[in-house]
Chains A and B, each alone.
Chain A
Amino acid sequence: MSLSNKNEQEKNIRVTEDKFLAPENRKHTVIGPGGEEIFVDPLNDYFCTEKPKVEKPYKGILEKFYNWARAESLWVLGYGTGCGSIELPPLFSPRFDAYRFGVAMRPTPRQSGVFIISGYLAVKTLKRVIRSYEQMQNPKYVIALGSCTINGGMYWDSYNTINRLDHYIPVDVYIAGCMPRPEAILSGFNRLKEKIKEGRAEGANEYIEKLEWYKANQKKIIKDWNMPDYNW
Protein backbone atom coordinates (compact mmCIF):
# COMPACT_ATOMS: atom_id res chain seq x y z
CA MET A 1 0.00 0.00 0.00
CA SER A 2 1.51 3.29 -1.07
CA LEU A 3 1.64 6.39 1.10
CA SER A 4 -0.98 8.27 -0.91
CA ASN A 5 -3.30 5.29 -0.52
CA LYS A 6 -2.84 5.53 3.23
CA ASN A 7 -3.78 9.20 3.27
CA GLU A 8 -6.86 8.44 1.24
CA GLN A 9 -7.76 5.76 3.71
CA GLU A 10 -7.61 8.27 6.58
CA LYS A 11 -9.81 10.66 4.66
CA ASN A 12 -12.33 7.94 4.01
CA ILE A 13 -13.20 7.51 7.70
CA ARG A 14 -16.85 8.47 7.82
CA VAL A 15 -18.48 9.74 10.97
CA THR A 16 -21.87 8.19 11.48
CA GLU A 17 -23.17 9.05 14.93
CA ASP A 18 -22.55 9.94 18.56
CA LYS A 19 -21.10 13.41 18.87
CA PHE A 20 -19.49 12.73 22.24
CA LEU A 21 -17.12 10.04 21.04
CA ALA A 22 -13.57 10.81 20.05
CA PRO A 23 -13.23 10.51 16.25
CA GLU A 24 -11.31 7.24 16.46
CA ASN A 25 -14.05 5.67 18.62
CA ARG A 26 -16.94 6.45 16.30
CA LYS A 27 -18.44 3.92 13.97
CA HIS A 28 -16.70 4.22 10.64
CA THR A 29 -15.60 2.30 7.60
CA VAL A 30 -11.99 1.88 6.61
CA ILE A 31 -10.71 0.89 3.20
CA GLY A 32 -8.74 -2.34 3.40
CA PRO A 33 -5.54 -3.09 1.48
CA GLY A 34 -7.47 -4.82 -1.28
CA GLY A 35 -9.84 -1.88 -1.67
CA GLU A 36 -12.67 -3.51 0.30
CA GLU A 37 -14.73 -1.52 2.81
CA ILE A 38 -14.50 -2.71 6.42
CA PHE A 39 -17.08 -1.49 8.95
CA VAL A 40 -15.62 -0.83 12.41
CA ASP A 41 -17.56 -0.16 15.62
CA PRO A 42 -14.67 0.49 18.03
CA LEU A 43 -16.67 0.33 21.28
CA ASN A 44 -17.79 -3.21 20.43
CA ASP A 45 -14.85 -4.38 18.35
CA TYR A 46 -11.91 -3.06 20.35
CA PHE A 47 -13.29 -3.46 23.88
CA CYS A 48 -14.61 -6.50 25.69
CA THR A 49 -18.40 -6.38 25.87
CA GLU A 50 -18.86 -9.31 28.23
CA LYS A 51 -20.33 -8.46 31.63
CA PRO A 52 -17.94 -8.88 34.57
CA LYS A 53 -18.55 -11.80 36.92
CA VAL A 54 -18.61 -12.06 40.68
CA GLU A 55 -15.56 -13.84 42.07
CA LYS A 56 -16.78 -15.68 45.13
CA PRO A 57 -14.34 -15.69 48.05
CA TYR A 58 -12.81 -19.02 49.08
CA LYS A 59 -13.86 -20.56 52.37
CA GLY A 60 -12.09 -21.27 55.61
CA ILE A 61 -8.39 -21.05 56.26
CA LEU A 62 -7.44 -20.53 52.62
CA GLU A 63 -9.42 -17.31 52.37
CA LYS A 64 -8.04 -16.21 55.74
CA PHE A 65 -4.51 -16.71 54.43
CA TYR A 66 -5.29 -14.84 51.23
CA ASN A 67 -6.85 -11.99 53.16
CA TRP A 68 -3.84 -11.77 55.43
CA ALA A 69 -1.59 -11.55 52.40
CA ARG A 70 -3.81 -8.97 50.76
CA ALA A 71 -3.98 -6.86 53.89
CA GLU A 72 -0.23 -6.77 54.36
CA SER A 73 0.53 -5.48 50.90
CA LEU A 74 -1.68 -2.58 49.92
CA TRP A 75 -0.60 -1.01 46.66
CA VAL A 76 -2.08 2.40 46.15
CA LEU A 77 -2.90 3.91 42.77
CA GLY A 78 -1.03 7.19 42.50
CA TYR A 79 -3.95 9.30 41.37
CA GLY A 80 -4.94 12.37 43.34
CA THR A 81 -8.38 13.70 42.53
CA GLY A 82 -8.58 16.73 44.80
CA CYS A 83 -6.79 18.75 47.43
CA GLY A 84 -6.29 15.68 49.63
CA SER A 85 -3.67 14.33 47.28
CA ILE A 86 -1.23 16.78 48.87
CA GLU A 87 -1.51 14.74 52.10
CA LEU A 88 -0.30 11.58 50.37
CA PRO A 89 3.38 12.43 49.60
CA PRO A 90 4.23 13.00 53.30
CA LEU A 91 2.95 9.47 53.98
CA PHE A 92 5.98 8.09 52.22
CA SER A 93 8.45 10.43 53.85
CA PRO A 94 10.56 9.12 56.78
CA ARG A 95 8.37 10.92 59.28
CA PHE A 96 5.21 8.91 58.60
CA ASP A 97 6.72 6.07 56.60
CA ALA A 98 3.74 4.17 55.25
CA TYR A 99 6.01 1.46 53.87
CA ARG A 100 6.22 -0.15 57.32
CA PHE A 101 2.49 -0.98 56.93
CA GLY A 102 3.06 -2.55 53.55
CA VAL A 103 1.63 0.45 51.71
CA ALA A 104 3.31 1.35 48.43
CA MET A 105 2.48 3.69 45.59
CA ARG A 106 1.97 2.32 42.09
CA PRO A 107 1.77 4.24 38.85
CA THR A 108 -0.93 2.33 36.97
CA PRO A 109 -4.36 0.92 37.79
CA ARG A 110 -3.36 -2.55 36.64
CA GLN A 111 -0.74 -2.85 39.36
CA SER A 112 -2.65 -1.40 42.27
CA GLY A 113 -5.29 -2.66 44.68
CA VAL A 114 -6.25 0.42 46.66
CA PHE A 115 -7.80 3.54 45.20
CA ILE A 116 -7.65 6.63 47.38
CA ILE A 117 -10.25 9.21 46.35
CA SER A 118 -8.51 12.20 47.84
CA GLY A 119 -11.03 14.94 48.38
CA TYR A 120 -13.64 16.52 46.18
CA LEU A 121 -14.54 14.88 42.91
CA ALA A 122 -15.64 16.90 39.91
CA VAL A 123 -17.84 15.26 37.31
CA LYS A 124 -15.01 15.43 34.81
CA THR A 125 -12.69 13.65 37.24
CA LEU A 126 -15.33 11.09 38.15
CA LYS A 127 -15.28 9.82 34.59
CA ARG A 128 -11.54 9.15 34.84
CA VAL A 129 -11.98 7.65 38.30
CA ILE A 130 -14.53 5.15 36.99
CA ARG A 131 -12.24 4.19 34.13
CA SER A 132 -9.32 3.67 36.48
CA TYR A 133 -11.36 1.82 39.08
CA GLU A 134 -12.77 -0.63 36.56
CA GLN A 135 -9.30 -1.33 35.17
CA MET A 136 -7.93 -2.32 38.57
CA GLN A 137 -7.57 -6.02 39.31
CA ASN A 138 -9.69 -7.81 41.86
CA PRO A 139 -9.69 -7.61 44.84
CA LYS A 140 -9.72 -3.83 44.99
CA TYR A 141 -10.49 -1.44 47.78
CA VAL A 142 -11.49 2.22 47.92
CA ILE A 143 -10.54 4.67 50.63
CA ALA A 144 -12.49 7.94 50.60
CA LEU A 145 -10.56 10.83 52.03
CA GLY A 146 -12.12 13.95 53.46
CA SER A 147 -15.64 15.14 54.05
CA CYS A 148 -16.18 16.01 50.38
CA THR A 149 -16.54 12.34 49.54
CA ILE A 150 -19.00 11.78 52.40
CA ASN A 151 -21.57 14.52 51.84
CA GLY A 152 -19.98 17.07 49.55
CA GLY A 153 -18.12 18.95 52.25
CA MET A 154 -17.75 22.63 51.51
CA TYR A 155 -18.72 21.98 47.89
CA TRP A 156 -22.09 20.48 48.80
CA ASP A 157 -24.05 22.98 46.66
CA SER A 158 -21.63 23.16 43.76
CA TYR A 159 -22.84 22.57 40.22
CA ASN A 160 -19.88 20.38 39.37
CA THR A 161 -18.87 18.39 42.45
CA ILE A 162 -20.48 15.14 43.49
CA ASN A 163 -21.94 14.80 46.98
CA ARG A 164 -21.81 11.10 47.80
CA LEU A 165 -19.06 8.91 46.50
CA ASP A 166 -20.78 5.65 47.49
CA HIS A 167 -23.41 6.18 44.82
CA TYR A 168 -20.80 5.81 42.09
CA ILE A 169 -18.22 3.32 43.36
CA PRO A 170 -18.30 1.14 46.50
CA VAL A 171 -16.31 2.61 49.39
CA ASP A 172 -14.59 0.53 52.06
CA VAL A 173 -13.23 3.13 54.46
CA TYR A 174 -14.12 6.78 54.96
CA ILE A 175 -11.61 9.09 56.59
CA ALA A 176 -13.36 12.24 57.82
CA GLY A 177 -11.66 15.60 57.97
CA CYS A 178 -10.94 18.58 55.81
CA MET A 179 -8.21 17.58 55.14
CA PRO A 180 -7.25 14.59 57.32
CA ARG A 181 -3.68 14.58 58.56
CA PRO A 182 -1.30 11.80 57.41
CA GLU A 183 -1.77 10.14 60.83
CA ALA A 184 -5.48 9.87 60.07
CA ILE A 185 -4.72 8.29 56.72
CA LEU A 186 -2.44 5.74 58.40
CA SER A 187 -5.25 4.97 60.82
CA GLY A 188 -7.54 4.54 57.84
CA PHE A 189 -5.12 2.06 56.29
CA ASN A 190 -5.12 0.08 59.52
CA ARG A 191 -8.91 0.09 59.56
CA LEU A 192 -8.91 -1.18 55.99
CA LYS A 193 -6.49 -3.96 56.97
CA GLU A 194 -8.80 -5.06 59.78
CA LYS A 195 -11.71 -5.04 57.36
CA ILE A 196 -9.84 -7.14 54.81
CA LYS A 197 -8.70 -9.64 57.42
CA GLU A 198 -12.28 -10.03 58.63
CA GLY A 199 -13.30 -10.73 55.04
CA ARG A 200 -15.70 -7.78 54.86
CA ALA A 201 -13.96 -5.79 52.13
CA GLU A 202 -15.93 -7.18 49.18
CA GLY A 203 -16.38 -3.89 47.36
CA ALA A 204 -15.35 -5.24 43.97
CA ASN A 205 -18.01 -7.98 44.08
CA GLU A 206 -20.60 -5.57 45.41
CA TYR A 207 -19.89 -3.30 42.46
CA ILE A 208 -20.52 -6.11 40.02
CA GLU A 209 -23.65 -7.32 41.80
CA LYS A 210 -25.18 -3.83 41.76
CA LEU A 211 -23.62 -2.83 38.45
CA GLU A 212 -26.87 -1.59 36.91
CA TRP A 213 -27.59 0.70 39.84
CA TYR A 214 -24.07 2.11 39.83
CA LYS A 215 -24.13 2.58 36.05
CA ALA A 216 -27.48 4.38 36.23
CA ASN A 217 -26.11 6.77 38.84
CA GLN A 218 -22.92 7.35 36.89
CA LYS A 219 -24.72 7.96 33.63
CA LYS A 220 -27.14 10.33 35.32
CA ILE A 221 -24.39 12.88 35.90
CA ILE A 222 -21.86 11.99 33.19
CA LYS A 223 -23.91 13.28 30.32
CA ASP A 224 -21.29 12.74 27.62
CA TRP A 225 -20.71 9.06 28.27
CA ASN A 226 -18.10 8.24 25.64
CA MET A 227 -16.55 4.97 26.78
CA PRO A 228 -17.58 1.31 26.95
CA ASP A 229 -20.06 0.41 29.67
CA TYR A 230 -17.44 -1.53 31.57
CA ASN A 231 -13.76 -0.69 31.04
CA TRP A 232 -11.75 -3.84 31.42
Chain B
Amino acid sequence: MSELLKQLKDQYKIFDITEVKSFQTFFSVDTAKLLPLVTSLKENSGYTVLVFITAVDWLEEDKFQLTYIVNNPEEKVDLGIRVFFKRDEPTMESIHHLWVHAATFQREIKEMYGIDFPGSPRVDEPFLLEGWDDIPPMRRDFDTKKYSEETFFPREGRESNDPATFMKLKLYPDE
Protein backbone atom coordinates (compact mmCIF):
# COMPACT_ATOMS: atom_id res chain seq x y z
CA MET B 1 0.00 0.00 0.00
CA SER B 2 2.65 2.56 0.99
CA GLU B 3 4.78 1.63 -2.00
CA LEU B 4 1.85 2.25 -4.28
CA LEU B 5 1.17 5.59 -2.61
CA LYS B 6 4.80 6.59 -3.00
CA GLN B 7 4.67 5.71 -6.66
CA LEU B 8 1.43 7.63 -7.13
CA LYS B 9 2.94 10.61 -5.31
CA ASP B 10 5.86 10.69 -7.73
CA GLN B 11 3.81 10.06 -10.83
CA TYR B 12 0.53 11.92 -10.25
CA LYS B 13 1.42 14.39 -7.46
CA ILE B 14 -1.28 13.16 -5.11
CA PHE B 15 -1.58 15.14 -1.90
CA ASP B 16 -3.53 15.24 1.37
CA ILE B 17 -3.14 11.51 2.10
CA THR B 18 -5.31 10.24 4.97
CA GLU B 19 -5.06 6.64 6.12
CA VAL B 20 -8.41 6.01 7.74
CA LYS B 21 -7.90 2.31 8.42
CA SER B 22 -5.30 -0.23 7.47
CA PHE B 23 -7.42 -1.19 4.47
CA GLN B 24 -8.74 2.26 3.55
CA THR B 25 -6.80 5.28 2.35
CA PHE B 26 -8.00 8.57 0.95
CA PHE B 27 -6.04 11.07 -1.10
CA SER B 28 -6.63 14.03 -3.37
CA VAL B 29 -5.48 14.63 -6.90
CA ASP B 30 -5.73 17.34 -9.52
CA THR B 31 -8.79 17.21 -11.76
CA ALA B 32 -6.77 16.76 -14.94
CA LYS B 33 -4.83 13.78 -13.53
CA LEU B 34 -7.83 11.81 -12.32
CA LEU B 35 -8.49 9.89 -15.51
CA PRO B 36 -4.89 8.64 -16.07
CA LEU B 37 -4.62 7.84 -12.35
CA VAL B 38 -7.82 5.78 -12.27
CA THR B 39 -6.94 4.03 -15.51
CA SER B 40 -3.52 3.06 -14.20
CA LEU B 41 -5.03 1.86 -10.90
CA LYS B 42 -7.44 -0.35 -12.80
CA GLU B 43 -5.02 -1.67 -15.39
CA ASN B 44 -1.78 -2.05 -13.42
CA SER B 45 -2.48 -2.10 -9.69
CA GLY B 46 -5.46 -4.45 -9.44
CA TYR B 47 -8.08 -1.89 -8.33
CA THR B 48 -10.69 -3.42 -10.59
CA VAL B 49 -13.88 -2.54 -8.74
CA LEU B 50 -15.48 0.88 -8.67
CA VAL B 51 -17.49 0.92 -5.43
CA PHE B 52 -19.20 4.27 -5.87
CA ILE B 53 -18.85 7.90 -6.86
CA THR B 54 -20.23 10.57 -4.59
CA ALA B 55 -20.24 14.34 -4.51
CA VAL B 56 -19.89 16.93 -1.73
CA ASP B 57 -20.89 20.56 -2.02
CA TRP B 58 -18.46 22.85 -0.17
CA LEU B 59 -20.55 26.00 -0.45
CA GLU B 60 -18.36 28.19 1.81
CA GLU B 61 -15.19 27.27 -0.08
CA ASP B 62 -17.00 27.58 -3.43
CA LYS B 63 -16.05 24.14 -4.71
CA PHE B 64 -17.41 20.69 -5.41
CA GLN B 65 -15.73 17.51 -4.30
CA LEU B 66 -16.07 14.18 -6.08
CA THR B 67 -14.97 11.02 -4.28
CA TYR B 68 -14.25 7.84 -6.22
CA ILE B 69 -13.88 4.69 -4.13
CA VAL B 70 -12.04 1.85 -5.88
CA ASN B 71 -11.47 -1.56 -4.41
CA ASN B 72 -8.78 -4.18 -4.85
CA PRO B 73 -10.50 -7.55 -4.42
CA GLU B 74 -7.21 -9.48 -4.24
CA GLU B 75 -5.69 -7.52 -1.39
CA LYS B 76 -9.05 -6.39 0.03
CA VAL B 77 -8.10 -2.72 0.27
CA ASP B 78 -9.95 0.45 -0.70
CA LEU B 79 -8.67 3.68 -2.16
CA GLY B 80 -10.65 6.91 -2.01
CA ILE B 81 -9.73 9.48 -4.63
CA ARG B 82 -10.88 13.05 -4.09
CA VAL B 83 -10.98 15.74 -6.76
CA PHE B 84 -12.01 19.35 -6.26
CA PHE B 85 -13.25 21.87 -8.79
CA LYS B 86 -15.03 25.21 -8.76
CA ARG B 87 -18.76 25.45 -8.31
CA ASP B 88 -19.33 27.60 -11.36
CA GLU B 89 -17.60 25.10 -13.69
CA PRO B 90 -19.27 21.85 -12.67
CA THR B 91 -17.84 19.57 -15.34
CA MET B 92 -15.85 16.38 -14.89
CA GLU B 93 -14.47 13.74 -17.21
CA SER B 94 -16.61 10.65 -17.53
CA ILE B 95 -15.18 7.25 -16.57
CA HIS B 96 -17.98 5.14 -18.00
CA HIS B 97 -15.59 3.53 -20.48
CA LEU B 98 -13.68 1.96 -17.56
CA TRP B 99 -16.69 0.83 -15.54
CA VAL B 100 -20.11 0.61 -17.16
CA HIS B 101 -21.99 1.25 -13.92
CA ALA B 102 -20.20 4.57 -13.48
CA ALA B 103 -22.73 5.95 -15.96
CA THR B 104 -25.52 5.45 -13.42
CA PHE B 105 -23.61 7.22 -10.65
CA GLN B 106 -22.81 10.06 -13.01
CA ARG B 107 -26.42 10.35 -14.11
CA GLU B 108 -27.55 10.63 -10.51
CA ILE B 109 -24.85 13.18 -9.65
CA LYS B 110 -25.83 15.21 -12.70
CA GLU B 111 -29.39 15.29 -11.48
CA MET B 112 -28.76 15.88 -7.79
CA TYR B 113 -25.77 18.26 -7.98
CA GLY B 114 -25.79 19.52 -11.55
CA ILE B 115 -22.25 18.25 -12.20
CA ASP B 116 -22.00 17.43 -15.89
CA PHE B 117 -20.16 14.45 -17.35
CA PRO B 118 -20.04 15.04 -21.10
CA GLY B 119 -20.27 11.86 -23.13
CA SER B 120 -21.70 9.69 -20.39
CA PRO B 121 -24.65 7.62 -21.67
CA ARG B 122 -28.13 8.99 -20.90
CA VAL B 123 -26.65 11.55 -18.53
CA ASP B 124 -29.26 14.18 -19.41
CA GLU B 125 -32.31 11.98 -18.87
CA PRO B 126 -34.22 12.27 -15.59
CA PHE B 127 -33.29 9.55 -13.14
CA LEU B 128 -35.29 10.07 -9.95
CA LEU B 129 -36.72 13.56 -10.40
CA GLU B 130 -39.05 13.59 -13.36
CA GLY B 131 -39.69 17.04 -14.73
CA TRP B 132 -37.53 18.88 -12.20
CA ASP B 133 -37.19 22.55 -13.11
CA ASP B 134 -35.50 24.09 -10.06
CA ILE B 135 -31.80 24.13 -9.16
CA PRO B 136 -30.48 20.65 -8.35
CA PRO B 137 -31.88 19.70 -4.93
CA MET B 138 -28.73 18.39 -3.25
CA ARG B 139 -26.87 21.67 -3.74
CA ARG B 140 -26.61 23.40 -0.43
CA ASP B 141 -28.02 26.70 -1.64
CA PHE B 142 -31.29 24.92 -2.44
CA ASP B 143 -33.72 25.52 0.45
CA THR B 144 -35.57 22.22 0.62
CA LYS B 145 -37.82 23.27 3.53
CA LYS B 146 -38.97 26.41 1.73
CA TYR B 147 -39.55 24.43 -1.48
CA SER B 148 -41.58 21.82 0.38
CA GLU B 149 -43.72 24.44 2.11
CA GLU B 150 -44.44 26.21 -1.14
CA THR B 151 -45.17 23.07 -3.12
CA PHE B 152 -46.62 20.28 -1.03
CA PHE B 153 -49.58 21.82 0.87
CA PRO B 154 -48.23 21.45 4.45
CA ARG B 155 -50.83 20.42 7.01
CA GLU B 156 -51.32 23.02 9.70
CA GLY B 157 -50.78 22.26 13.35
CA ARG B 158 -47.52 20.46 12.99
CA GLU B 159 -45.04 21.16 15.78
CA SER B 160 -41.38 20.41 15.60
CA ASN B 161 -38.69 21.01 18.16
CA ASP B 162 -34.99 21.54 17.93
CA PRO B 163 -33.73 18.39 19.70
CA ALA B 164 -31.01 20.20 21.67
CA THR B 165 -33.28 22.89 23.15
CA PHE B 166 -36.12 20.42 23.67
CA MET B 167 -33.99 18.00 25.69
CA LYS B 168 -32.42 20.85 27.63
CA LEU B 169 -35.84 22.17 28.63
CA LYS B 170 -37.01 18.68 29.51
CA LEU B 171 -33.98 17.61 31.53
CA TYR B 172 -32.95 20.92 33.09
CA PRO B 173 -36.04 23.12 33.23
CA ASP B 174 -34.54 25.44 35.88
CA GLU B 175 -31.43 26.48 33.98
Contacts and interface: CB of A to CB of B under 8 A. Distances in A.
Nearest to A19: B131
A163 B154 contact: yes
Interface string B41-85: 000000000000000000000000000000000000000000000
A124 B129 contact: yes
B151 interface: yes
Contacts of B155: 150-152, 163-164
Interface in A151-183: 151-152, 156-164, 167
A24 B137 CA distance: 31
A66 interface: no
Interface string A131-158: 0000000000000000000111000111
Interface stretch (A54-62, A103-111, A220-228): A220-228
A105 B82 CA distance: 49
B164 interface: no
A127 B130 contact: yes
A87 to B, nearest CB: 23
B148 A157 contact: yes
A20 interface: yes
Contact of B152 (A127, A221, A223, A225): A221
Interface string B137-154: 100001011011101111
A217 interface: yes
Contacts of B137: 159-160
B55 to A, nearest CB: 16
Contacts of A157: 144-145, 148-149
A88 interface: no
A123 interface: yes
A156 B130 contact: no
B172 interface: no
A93 to B, nearest CB: 32
Nearest to B132: A223
Given A152-B155, A221-B151, A160 B131 contact: no
Given A157-B144, A159-B144, A152 B129 contact: no
B133 interface: yes
B152 A162 contact: yes
Contacts of B153: 163-164, 167, 217
Interface string A189-230: 000000000000000000000000000010011111100000
B28 to A, nearest CB: 30
A223 B128 contact: no
Contacts of A160: 128-129, 137
A106 B132 CA distance: 33
B170 interface: no
A226 to B, nearest CB: 8
Interface in B82-140: 126, 128-133, 137
Given A151-B158, A156-B158, A157-B144, A164 B130 contact: no
Contacts of A167: 153
Contact of A222 (B126, B131, B144): B131
Contacts of A161: 148, 152
A53 to B, nearest CB: 28
B131 A224 contact: yes
9 contacts: A151-B158, A152-B158, A156-B148, A157-B148, A158-B148, A160-B128, A162-B152, A221-B151, A224-B126
Interface of A: 20, 122-124, 127, 150-152, 156-164, 167, 217, 220-225
Given A124-B128, A222-B130, 8 more contacts: A122-B128, A162-B152, A163-B148, A164-B154, A164-B155, A217-B153, A222-B131, A225-B131
Which 7 pairs of residues, A with B, have the shortest CB-CB distance?
A224-B131, A223-B131, A151-B155, A157-B145, A163-B152, A159-B137, A159-B144
